[in-house]
């Protein structure tokens, strides 16, 4: 899980593809806050990290 002891400002490394792939469903969509259990701050950081990883071609835009 992303939450726990989190620093301010929240930052999630976009190169951590293993963590980010757990927060994306099989269709390639970002999992919502309700399903992931993240707070609003950490969900925003997750979204930014996934978008950066996609732009840098570390993650696909669509699922398999």
Q: Which fold has domain 1-64?
A: 30s Ribosomal Protein S18 (4.10.640)
The alpha carbons of the chain give a radius of gyration, in whole angstroms, of 11
* Dihedral, 47, 22, 41, 6 alpha carbons, nearest 10: -130
pLDDT digits (tens, 9 = 90+) for 2-57: 666 665 667 889 999 999 999 999 999 999 999 988 888 889 999 999 999 999 99
Q: Above 60 in pLDDT, residue 1? A: no
The pLDDT value recorded for residue 10 is: 74
The pTM is what? 0.83
Three-state SS string over 1-60 comes to CCCCCCCCCCCCCCCCHHHHHHCECCCCCECCHHHHCCCHHHHHHHHHHHHHHHHCCCCC
């Amino acid at each position: 899980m992303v939450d726990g002891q989190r620093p301010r400002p929240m930052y999630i490394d976009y190169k951590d593809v293993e963590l980010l792939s757990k927060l994306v469903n099989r269709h390639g969509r970002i999992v919502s806050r309700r399903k992931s259990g993240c707070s609003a701050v950490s969900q925003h950081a997750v979204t930014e990290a996934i978008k950066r990883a996609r732009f840098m071609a570390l993650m696909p835009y669509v699922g398999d």
